[in-house]
Amino acid sequence: MEKLLFLILTGLVASCSTYTKSSLQQEDQLVVTRKYMGDFIEYRHTGAETMSGPNIIWIKTSLDSTYGKISAYGKKCDFSPGDRLYLRRILYSPGGVSGYWEYRIENDSSLFYKVTEFQHDRKVSAQTWF
């Protein structure tokens, strides 16, 4: 009888210890792949510093006071004023073992631009927005 009671208590403790609120919150955060970044207002282009350097566009949205200007790769921006813009993260795993996140700024249609990893306007990484 004591062995049965010991097994039941051990099972109960083990099952309760794996279920925590913090582990559920971490799983919820991994599910989010798209975040609203504001309505498109305007953009400006910054040319490459060297011949092989990237062209950067600085996108201003209605949430500019929260996120700052969003920097992405491109020579021009085809978003229309008032477009709802979203930041999307996509997990790429070319080798199957490990992967990396790529961040894009996109509108409701199929138009998107790859976001630079480091956002110079606010001096933060794009991944901190998730």
How far, in Å, CA of 46 to CA of 7, rounded? 67
Q: In this structure, is residue 41 part of a structural domain?
A: yes
- 10-residue stretch averages of pLDDT, the chain, 130 residues long: 68 58 49 86 85 88 89 93 93 79 90 88 77
Q: In this structure, is residue 38 part of a structural domain?
A: yes
Note the pLDDT tens digit of each residue in 23-52.
444 444 555 688 999 999 999 998 777 777
Domain residues for 111?
A: 33-129
Q: In this structure, is residue 71 part of a structural domain?
A: yes
Q: In this structure, is residue 20 part of a structural domain?
A: no
Judged on CB neighbours under 10 Å (0-12, 13-18, 19+), 26 is exposed
